[in-house]
Amino acid sequence: MIISIQELIDFAQKNQRDFNEPKGIHPKEKRVVLENVGVIDPESIEDYIARGGYMSLFKVLDEMSPKEVIEEIKTSNLRGRGGGGYPTGLKWESVSKVQSEQKYIICNGDEGDPGAFMDRAVMEGDPHRVLEGMAIAGYACGANKGYIYVRAEYPVAVEKLTKAIKQATKFGILGENIAHSGFGFSVEIRLGAGAFVCGEATALIASIEGGRGHPRQKPPHLSDHGLWGEPTLLNNVETFANIAPIIKNGGEWFKNIGTKNSSGTKVFALTGHIKKTGLVEVPMGTTLRELVFEIGGGVEDGRKFKAIQSGGPSGGCIPEHLLDLQVDYESLKSAGSIMGSGGLIVIDDSSNMVEIARYFMDFCASESCGKCTPCRVGTTELTRLLDKFINKEATKRDFELLKEMCDMVKSTSLCGLGQTAPNPVLSTIRYFEDEYFAGIKDD
């Protein structure tokens, strides 16, 4: 059992060995979240500690107050990597200020975007990094219990996380009175049934509590009324995976990576009509052109680039003339899309953009929890309208109705699923309007 930072250092030195760094990393990549993925054995806590693992946790327990930890995270300007982009330090501060005997930390591993597998790679390849980030958050916010919510379709991730929790508990890194600090923290795993809506915070909490994954209105916010009515902090896997490096290297180090308002790196899953698919991690501010044509090798089969879908079903389609757009939260929003969790789907010139929009709208309609009418009925009606354009049966009035209904669903739905569901339609209308006009029958 490791009970001091010196014992952790001694254990790390004892287990030092040569680690084989992964090959084929593009020069424009910068690995922070993925620095251990493919390098260490994810089932070996010894490997993780030998690479400096849990040193940040022991550092905060030995040298820093909870307030100092939060200030370091605020300095870093880390924003939530689940898609919302809310400042992580401010979220932690909100939970820390609430007086309660019981608080909870939740890690959202319910990665439901088509083509996205960023969180899966971290949970499967570096599970201890997630646990360390959660434990540091627990110390900073005054929480002693954590839950990782993972979709049941990720059995390997569940297996790796389960083993990591057992190892960390055996080593005394999780449990009661960690390193004689008086702070204790334990973690459990909860499985989700694969409902896309459970990526929304309040629906996720309802699922952990044993109920249906239905969202609720906010306020009250999770910092005041979260899991079982107690103050709760919820971040996603990638957000927690950034915490240990920030504590190790300092908030200013992280802040100096990326852009002014979007610090650090972002992990993306490159998929679709692209030569080199897979995960990449780049500094915020990297352009779409660099991602697609330099890191991703360009469009496959000699086809022409047409658009890139960012943000999954909740995102938008960005056309060729915006390829030099910097990838950060504000830039993507200005282009009619979102960062989302990090899925990037490249679309070539063989694709019909109305059909692309219809695919994502059908996905949102099928994944709607049905609680609110705008989302339940609106997404279904939008799918029906898109079918009319695809079958060249639409009228000019249908085109106006399509835009009106998008606005209604976006502005009146209860949660983020419905509020962002029209984005693929609105962005394709914005940039590929002629393809909609092609589906309007002659009067």
pLDDT digits (tens, 9 = 90+) for 183-240: 999 999 999 988 999 999 999 999 999 999 999 998 999 999 999 999 999 999 999 9
Give every CB contact of residue 183 below 8 A, 6+ residues apart in sequence: 61, 138, 139, 144, 177
Q: With 70 as the cut, is the pLDDT of residue 12 above it?
A: yes
What are 289-302's pLDDT values in tens digits?
999 999 999 999 99
Per-residue pLDDT at 106: 98
φ, ψ of residue 274 in degrees (nearest 5)? -135, 145
Output the CA torsion 11→12→18→19 (10° steps).
Answer: 120
**Quick one: DSSP state of residue 149?**
E
What are 333-354's pLDDT values in tens digits?
999 999 988 899 999 999 999 9
- Sign, CA torsion 101/54/259/292: negative
Per-residue pLDDT at 341: 83
Give every CB contact of residue 40 below 8 A, 6+ residues apart in sequence: 19, 47, 48, 50, 51, 125, 126
Mean pLDDT for 266-281 is 95
Taking the C-alpha atoms of residue 361 and residue 382, their distance in angstroms, rounded to an integer, is 7
What are 62-119's pLDDT values in tens digits?
999 999 999 999 999 999 998 889 999 999 999 999 999 999 999 999 988 877 889 9
Is residue 227 a contact partner of residue 208, using CB atoms and an 8 Å limit? yes
Taking the C-alpha atoms of residue 356 and residue 405, their distance in angstroms, rounded to an integer, is 18
- HSE-up of residue 144 (Cα within 13 Å, Cβ side): 11
What are 225-247's pLDDT values in tens digits?
999 999 999 999 999 999 999 99
Q: With 90 as the cut, is the pLDDT of residue 3 above it?
A: no
| Both structure tokens of 44 | 């070996």
Angle subtended by helix axes 88-97 and 127-141, to nearest 10: 50
Quote the percentage of the chain above a pLDDT of 90: 90
Give every CB contact of residue 87 below 8 A, 6+ residues apart in sequence: 74, 77, 78, 79, 80
**How distant, in Å, are the alpha carbons of 332, 347, 381, 439 from that of 357?**
18, 12, 13, 14
Mean model confidence pLDDT for the chain: 95
Per-residue pLDDT at 312: 85
Q: Which of 402, 397, 388 is nearest to 439 (CA)?
A: 388
> Which of the two residues, 286 and 3, has the higher pLDDT score?
286
Hey, what amino acid is at 61? L
Q: What angle do CA 10, 15, 19 make, to 5 degrees?
A: 135
Per-residue pLDDT at 443: 60
Per-residue pLDDT at 442: 75
Per-residue pLDDT at 135: 98
| Both structure tokens of 384 | 């029906």
Q: Band of the pLDDT at 22, cuts 50, 70, 90?
A: confident
Taking the C-alpha atoms of residue 168 and residue 58, their distance in angstroms, rounded to an integer, is 13
Alpha helix stretches (DSSP H) within 290-395: 329-334, 353-367, 373-390
